[in-house]
Amino acid sequence: MAVTVTTPVYEGPFDLLLDLILREEVELYEVSLLTIVDAYLEELENMKEYDLELATEFLLIAAILVELKARRLLPSGNKIDPDDEFGIWEERDLLLAKLVECKTFKEAASQLRELSQQASLSWPRRAGLEEAFLSLTPDLLEGVTKEDLREACLRAIAPRPSISVNTEHIAPIKATVVEAVRELIEEMPRTGSVSFKELTKGLTDRIEIVVRFLAILELYKQGVLEIDQIDSFGEINVSWCSDTEIADMDLLDIYEG
Amino acid sequence: MSEEKAKLKMISDIDAEAHIRRAIEAILMVAIDPVPPSIFAQLFEVQVDEIERICNSMVDHYTEAELGFSLIRIAGGYRFQSNPEQAQWVERFILEGQSRRLTAAAMETLAIVAYKQPISRAQVSAIRGVDVEGVMRNLQQRGLIDEVSRDTGPGNAVLYGTTQEFLERMGIDSVAGLPPLGEFVPGPEVVEALERSLRVVADEVTIPATEEG
Amino acid sequence: MSEEKAKLKMISDIDAEAHIRRAIEAILMVAIDPVPPSIFAQLFEVQVDEIERICNSMVDHYTEAELGFSLIRIAGGYRFQSNPEQAQWVERFILEGQSRRLTAAAMETLAIVAYKQPISRAQVSAIRGVDVEGVMRNLQQRGLIDEVSRDTGPGNAVLYGTTQEFLERMGIDSVAGLPPLGEFVPGPEVVEALERSLRVVADEVTIPATEEG
């Protein structure tokens, strides 16, 4: 991995950073993800050719860093509902099992690479039949139709999607702020006042909740919603300022472009 | 008298074996893929384990002869191949290189399929934590994995496994020849470190301000 | 003293010769066509007649060894081939032991040559994403494809096309008789994967929901 990052607490190859964090030699809190992303983007710009493998590896590690960091930033404390706490621990155990599994297969993969590298030093004999035997060869085209041939050609020339940088591990974003704003504008006049918990009920993906939250902030900024929160980490109450008339499109324009 | 007969029989056995050896050598010369012992057994009307015994002694023989090539057991069969020590010369002769390197992602996906086969794409995705569709398709196009069966459960998911080509590329006889997965499970200190990194901090609810907000 | 030196030199010569022999053995084992001595001469930076001397002594050596194969001089080069005495076994292997069906890889390769002819091996490799040398060789040996011309570009790559025999077997007059490929309509999974690959560069966050969640 050629990407080197320089942060106040760490300077060196990017992939090593994850190892160090896991070994607690670098405090994750103090690592700015922004710095890392910047360093990486700079590296990409300097690159003459786009290195797909590098990009993929980066995204994977970055995703793990984000996940770890998000987890540490999760509010916790004495007020946790026992059910929630259990859930958090359960989730943690699952994540731990997943990380161990990931590491195991990473190791296995490097072993496979070694095996294949060793094996690639030998070439098989593929000379095939000598002239004298050629007339004996069984009929390979038996049962093959023109259509089979066409299908085979289509299969072969089908675009290979694997040349994509896959970003699935960064939760797929199903919701957009625009949509969330639109939904709120529809829902809120009817509901009047509601807690954030209520508003996000039924949403399972963290990203969807975040998008909802951003939509609320936006509407708050526009002055059509009021937000209050009595305790820190307490319930957030959202209420509609009923006298405000807004035109949908005006608002939505903010997000386009 | 009977001793002489026994001697004669032995000679004819050795003779028969020598014949089989030569026939095997000739066939391996024209074969394009590794030839499984069962094919030789069928051809010579000899038990498979007898063929394996003969072939294994041939493998040893060619190894000891220190030639530029050797006879090996690979992907469930036998084949002649150039020796690794001659790789630099063969490489210069065969200008067209070996098939391209696999990316780290492809290699990890391949490892999961190899060790967990038969396995569905969804199961591989679950382990990798990322969608593996593109990578799996690539591996399939390279002939390293293939659909081997269907899940009997609901949905009848396609199950994947590794191919002959995979075994050849890895230089092994069967997937049983892969190093045991247990060897790669991280040690307790690594697991502990991972665990620590995930610890839910109970008391301090310190949320430091970060640049990213 | 000088005698000792001469002896040393001889030993190192023998050593060098043994090295060359092994490299030649390795190359001949994997070469598809007979290899002319001039190629070896160039590779090892040795005189052609020196190579011929070494190769001829190898020919003798393999003949004496009475194996199932031998090293012969043919078509201006050297190659390993099965021994004529083993012909009956090789024939039986071809008739009984080999698969009678085209493999998926061979089928795709044949289809590409049929539809895209004239085409070079490198171009077929590029389309299939894997090295096709062995497969093309097989198809050529089976009389289904053949060299038809040479590329006019640099390198003058050999271009391949299908044979008369192929047309007859397919029951068509000319390749124009193959069903048209039509406009390639990628399946939904391909579209989805391509779309995903574009997401990285997309600024907008309007992304359709995917099954994988």
- Residue B102, min C-alpha distance to chain A (Å): 9
Whether the link from the prior residue into C118 is cis, omega within 30° of 0, is yes
pLDDT of residue A249: 42
Give the model's confidence band at B103: pLDDT under 50 very low, under 70 low, under 90 confident, else very high. confident
Chain A residue numbers with beta carbons less than 8 Å from the beta carbon of C143 are 134
Best of C33, C51, C63, C82 to substitute, by most chain B Cβ atoms within 10 angstroms, is: C82
Give A36-69 pLDDT, tens digit per residue: 666 666 666 666 565 666 666 666 666 766 766 6
CA distance A102 to B112: 10
pLDDT of residue B131: 80
Give the model's confidence band at A100: pLDDT under 50 very low, under 70 low, under 90 confident, else very high. confident
Give A167-225 pLDDT, tens digit per residue: 444 444 455 777 788 888 877 877 778 887 777 776 766 667 777 777 887 787 777 88
A133-147, A152-166, C113-127, range with the lowest pLDDT? A152-166
Give B15-57 pLDDT, tens digit per residue: 889 999 999 999 999 998 899 999 999 999 999 999 999 999 9
Name B101's Cβ contacts closer than 8 Å, sequence gap at least 6. none
pLDDT of residue A242: 59
Taking 60 as the threshold, does the pLDDT of residue A93 lie above it?
Answer: yes
CATH no., domain B3-93? 1.10.10.10
Which subunits sit against A, judged by 3+ Cβ pairs under 8 A? Answer: B, C
In this structure, the dihedral spanned by the alpha carbons of residues A91, A92, A93 and A95, taken in order and rounded to 10 degrees, is: 90
pLDDT of residue C133: 79
Give the residue with greater pLDDT, C16 vs B60. Answer: B60
Compute the average pLDDT of residues C96-118.
82
Taking 80 as the threshold, does the pLDDT of residue C90 lie above it?
Answer: yes
Best of A116, A126, A160, A169 to substitute, by most chain B Cβ atoms within 10 angstroms, is: A116
**Token pair 């994967």: residue:** C193
- Residue C141, min C-alpha distance to chain A (Å): 7
Taking 70 as the threshold, does the pLDDT of residue B185 lie above it?
Answer: yes
- Residue C168, min C-alpha distance to chain B (Å): 26
Q: Which residues of B101-130 are buried (b: 16+ CB within 10 A; e: fewer)?
A: ebbbbbbbbbbbbbbbbbbbbbbbbebbbb
- Residue A74, min C-alpha distance to chain C (Å): 22
For residue C199, give the chain A residue with the closest CA. A167
Chain B residue numbers with beta carbons less than 8 Å from the beta carbon of A78 are 202
Give the model's confidence band at A8: pLDDT under 50 very low, under 70 low, under 90 confident, else very high. low
Looking from the CA of C155 toward its CB, the CA atoms found within 13 Å total 7
Residue among A134, A139, A161 whose CB faces C141 most closely: A134
Cα distance from N-terminal residue to C-terminal residue, chain B: 99
**Token pair 């071809």: residue:** C94
Asked if B63 reaches chain A (Cβ–Cβ under 8 Å), the answer is no
Phi then psi dihedrals of residue A143, to 5 deg: 80, 0
pLDDT of residue B206: 39
Cβ-based burial of A139 (10 A; exposed 0-12, middle 13-18, buried ≥19): exposed
Taking 50 as the threshold, does the pLDDT of residue B175 lie above it?
Answer: yes
Compute the average pLDDT of residues A227-234.
72
**Average pLDDT of chain B to the nearest whole number:** 83
CATH no., domain B104-204? 1.10.10.10
Q: Do A98 and B129 touch (CB under 8 A)?
A: yes
pLDDT of residue C131: 74
A73-77, B178-182, C96-100, range with the lowest pLDDT? A73-77
| Alpha-carbon distance values, C35 to B28, B126, C3, C93, C99 (Å) | 20, 51, 38, 26, 29
- Residue A191, min C-alpha distance to chain B (Å): 31
Give the residue with greater pLDDT, C91 vs A88. Answer: C91
pLDDT of residue A169: 43
B115 and B178 Cβ atoms separated by less than 8 Å: yes
- Residue A181, min C-alpha distance to chain C (Å): 14
**Average pLDDT of chain A to the nearest whole number:** 68
pLDDT of residue C161: 93
pLDDT of residue C9: 56
pLDDT of residue C27: 95
pLDDT of residue C162: 93
What is the DSSP secondary-structure string of B85-126?
A: GGHHHHHHH--SPSSPPPPHHHHHHHHHHHHH-SEEHHHHHH
Give the residue with greater pLDDT, B152 vs C183. Answer: B152
Asked if C76 reaches chain A (Cβ–Cβ under 8 Å), the answer is no
- The residue ranges of every structural domain in chain C are 3-93, 104-204
Taking 60 as the threshold, does the pLDDT of residue A120 lie above it?
Answer: yes
Closest CA to B79 of B8, B24, B133, B39: B24
Chain A residue numbers with beta carbons less than 8 Å from the beta carbon of C141 are 128-129, 134, 137
Tokens of A50: 């786009």
Taking 50 as the threshold, does the pLDDT of residue C202 lie above it?
Answer: no
Asked if C98 reaches chain A (Cβ–Cβ under 8 Å), the answer is yes
Chain A residue numbers with beta carbons less than 8 Å from the beta carbon of B90 are 123
Looking from the CA of B171 toward its CB, the CA atoms found within 13 Å total 20
Asked if B192 reaches chain A (Cβ–Cβ under 8 Å), the answer is no
- Alpha-helical runs (H) found in chain C: 2-30, 37-44, 48-64, 87-92, 104-116, 121-128, 133-141, 164-170, 188-199
In this structure, the dihedral spanned by the alpha carbons of residues A108, A114, A118 and A120, taken in order and rounded to 10 degrees, is: 90
Asked if B176 reaches chain A (Cβ–Cβ under 8 Å), the answer is no
Residue among B67, B131, B143 whose CB faces C130 most closely: B143
Three-state DSSP state, A4: strand
pLDDT of residue C35: 94
- The listed range with the strongest mean pLDDT (A252-256, B95-99, B191-195) is B191-195
A44 and A4 Cβ atoms separated by less than 8 Å: no
pLDDT of residue A154: 84
Give the model's confidence band at A74: pLDDT under 50 very low, under 70 low, under 90 confident, else very high. low
Give the residue with greater pLDDT, C10 vs C138. Answer: C138
Where residue C66 falls (left for φ over 0; alpha for ψ -120 to 50; beta otherwise) is: left
Compute the average pLDDT of residues C115-139.
84
CA distance C24 to B117: 40
Asked if C142 reaches chain A (Cβ–Cβ under 8 Å), the answer is yes
What one-character DSSP code corresponds to residue C174? S
Taking 60 as the threshold, does the pLDDT of residue C16 lie above it?
Answer: yes
Tokens of A123: 């070439």
Give the residue with greater pLDDT, B182 vs B201. Answer: B182
pLDDT of residue B213: 34
Q: Do B30 and A130 touch (CB under 8 A)?
A: yes
Best of A54, A153, A254 to substitute, by most chain C Cβ atoms within 10 angstroms, is: A153
Q: Do C107 and A176 touch (CB under 8 A)?
A: no
CA distance B26 to C89: 8
Chain B residue numbers with beta carbons less than 8 Å from the beta carbon of A100 are 185-186, 191, 194
pLDDT of residue B25: 97
* Strand-by-strand arrangement of the C119-120 sheet: C119-120, C158-162, C145-150
- Alpha-helical runs (H) found in C31-155: 37-44, 48-64, 87-92, 104-116, 121-128, 133-141
What is the DSSP secondary-structure string of A5-61?
A: EE-SS-EEEHHHHHHHHHTTSS-GGG--HHHHHHHHHHHHHH-SS--HHHHHHHHHH
Q: Do B25 and C92 touch (CB under 8 A)?
A: no
Chain C residue numbers with beta carbons less than 8 Å from the beta carbon of B137 are 193
Tokens of C88: 């009956």
User: Can B3-93 and B104-204 be said to share one CATH topology?
Assistant: yes
Compute the average pLDDT of residues C104-109.
85
C142 and A137 Cβ atoms separated by less than 8 Å: yes
What one-character DSSP code corresponds to residue C114? H
Closest CA to A113 of B171, C203, C144, B128: B171
This complex has an ipTM of 0.72
**Token pair 């492809």: residue:** B106
Chain A residue numbers with beta carbons less than 8 Å from the beta carbon of B130 are 60, 166, 168-169
Q: Do A126 and C30 touch (CB under 8 A)?
A: yes
Closest CA to B110 of B90, B84, B137: B137
pTM score:
0.62
Give B56-102 pLDDT, tens digit per residue: 999 999 999 999 999 999 999 999 999 999 999 998 888 654 556 78
Which subunits sit against B, judged by 3+ Cβ pairs under 8 A? Answer: A, C
C161, containing H or E segment: strand C158-162
The 10 Å Cβ neighbour count of residue A98 is 15
Taking 80 as the threshold, does the pLDDT of residue A28 lie above it?
Answer: no
Tokens of B80: 């002649």
